Amino acid sequence: MKNNGWIVWLGTLALLLLHQDFWFWDNYETEVFGFMPIGLAYHAGFSIVAALWWGAVMSFAWPHHLEALAEEQEEPISTQRP
C-alpha cells in the first residue's frame, strides 16, 4: 500500500467521477437486453467494475506491514479508568 497508495486514491477518484453518468440522465428509451433501462444497466456494470477494481487493488497494494503488526504479540491497552 505504501508505494502504490497514490494509484489506489487516483483510481477510486476516477471511479467516483464515472459514477456521475450525466450522459444517460434523461435517456428513457434505450433498454439493455430488452428490459433494463440503460441508466440502470450502466450502474449495474459499475458495480462489477468496482468489484474488479478492489480485487486488483488487493493484489498490488495489500498492506503487508499492517498484517505483520497484527502477527506481533498482543499488547492490550487499558481504556478503563485507572
Partner 1 sequence: MTPLIIIVCYLGLLLALGIISSRSFRGTSKDYFVASHSIGPFLLLMSVFGTTMTAFALVGSTGKAFERGIGVYGLMASISGLVHAAVFFLIGIRLWVYGKKYGFVTQIQFFRARFDSQRIGYVLFPILAMLVVPYLLIGIIGAGKTVLPVTAGAFPDLFPNAATPQWAGGIPVWLTGLVICGVVMTYVFLGGSRGAAWANTFQTIVFMVMGLVAFVFIANSLGGLTNASKVAIQINDQGEVVQPYRWDAANNQLVANDPPKVVGRIIEGENDTAGSYSPRPLLSRQVTTVELENVNKKTGEVKTFTREYGMSTWMFLTYLFIPLSVGMFPHLFQHWLTAKSARAFKLTVFAHPLCILIVWVPCVLIGIWATGILPPLDPTKVSGVLGQMVARLVSSPILSGFLIAGILAAIMSSLDSQFLCLGTMFTNDIVIHKLGSGKLSDRQVILIARGFVVGIVTLTYLLSLVAPQNVFDLAVWCFSGFGALFPLVFAAVFWKRVTKAGAYACILAATLSWFYFFAKSGFGSELVLGPGIMPVAVCFLISTAALIIVSLMTRPPSEETIKKFFPDKAS
DSSP string, 20-71: --GGGTT--S-EETTTEEHHHHHHHHHHHHHHHHHHHHHHHS--HHHHHHHH
User: Which grid coordinates belong to 16?
Assistant: 467516483
Asked whether position 46 contacts partner 1 by CB under 8 A, the answer is: yes
Contact pattern from residue 49 through residue 78 relative to partner 1, giving x for each residue in contact according to CB under 8 A and a dash for the rest: -xx-xxx-xx----x-xxx-xx-x-xxxxx
Site residues (CB under 8 A) for partner 1?
2, 8, 12, 15-16, 19-22, 24-29, 31, 33-37, 39-40, 42-44, 46-48, 50-51, 53-55, 57-58, 63, 65-67, 69-70, 72, 74-82
